[in-house]
Each structure stands twice: as C-alpha cells, then as structure tokens.
Amino acid sequence: MSDFYIVGFDGTAQARRAVDYAASRAKKSGGKVQLVQVIEWSPYSFHTPEELAERHGRREQELERAKAMVQPVADELGKTGIEVDCQVRHGNAADLLCKIASELEADQIIIGRTGDSALAQRLLGGLAITLAQVAPVPVTIVP
C-alpha cells in the first residue's frame, strides 16, 4: 500500500523543503503527493454589494496567481514519476488541510516550519501548532 501525503505549499523556501521531503517519501513508497495552497480568506465580514463584487474579482485573481505558482512544482514532481496533484483553495489553512486530508484519506500532512519567533508563535498561534492539535493524521514539520 502506498502512502499519500498532503503538503501545505505557499511558495516559500520552507514550503519547498516540505515538498522535497514529501517527494522523497513518496518516491520510496510509491506514494502520492497532493500539493495544497491555501489563500487565507475569511467569510465572516460584512460588505456592500459593490464590495462583494470587487472582493470576488480579487479572489479570482488570487486563485489564478496561486495556481501559476503551485502548478510548476507539481509538474516538476510529475516528471520524476511521482503521482502528484495540486489544488488552491480559499479559507483557513489548518481547517482546509485537515478537511482535505480526511476527504482524500491521506496518511500524513507535511508543512514547512516558518521562521516566526517563539514569542510570535505563542501570541498568535500558528499553522504547525494548530495542526498538531487538530489534524486527523500525523503531521510532519520540515525545518
């Protein structure tokens, strides 16, 4: 049975290290990789109809930019023989990574560690901390 890895990807060097880690694991196990880029977006704000139309336009532009960033990485992995797919979604990163991992029956979520200070992480929380608490599958944080 092959492993299935969900990788949180945001275009940073840390995220790329997470992709490389997942790719090496998938290569060894004959597994699959799902790259997921999440654009943080809260539905909990009130807007006029004009603001909603403008917001929708910005949202679509962000999706296109994000797809242009993640697709080349997916294509690169695919050329090495790894089964890979990618998706870009709006929402809360922790919620979406957990939801996708459950829906796709993934074996693991892999993310890159950010460079935030310990104080910032304590005050603001963070994706790694949240995933460690709520993920439905094991989480690997790549330095």
**What values do phi and psi take at 29, rounded to 5?**
-100, -5
Structural domain harbouring 99? 4-142
The H or E element containing residue 53 is helix 49-79
What is the per-residue pLDDT for 123? 44
pTM above 0.85, yes or no: no
Instruction: Walk across the sheet containing 83-91 and list its strands.
Output: 83-91, 32-40, 4-8, 108-112, 139-142
What is the per-residue pLDDT for 61? 80
93-130: pLDDT as tens digits? 999 999 999 999 999 999 988 755 555 455 445 888 88
4-21: pLDDT as tens digits? 999 999 888 889 999 999
What is the per-residue pLDDT for 71? 92
**Three-state DSSP class for residue 111:** strand
Q: How far apart, in whole angstroms, are the C-alpha atoms of residue 88 and residue 10? A: 10
Give the chain's domain count.
1
**Three-state DSSP class for residue 52:** helix
Per-residue b/e over 48-58, b at no fewer than 16 CB within 10 Å?
eeeeeeeeeee
The one-letter code for the residue type at 142 is V
47-77: pLDDT as tens digits? 667 766 677 677 778 878 888 889 999 999 9
Q: In this structure, what CATH number is given to the domain that contains residue 70?
A: 3.40.50.620
Q: How far apart, in whole angstroms, are the C-alpha atoms of residue 130 and residue 137? A: 13
**What values do phi and psi take at 48, rounded to 5?**
-75, 165
Per-residue pLDDT for 82 more than 50? yes
Q: Which residue has the higher pLDDT, 121 or 142?
A: 142
The one-letter code for the residue type at 113 is R
What is the per-residue pLDDT for 120? 46
**Three-state DSSP class for residue 103:** helix
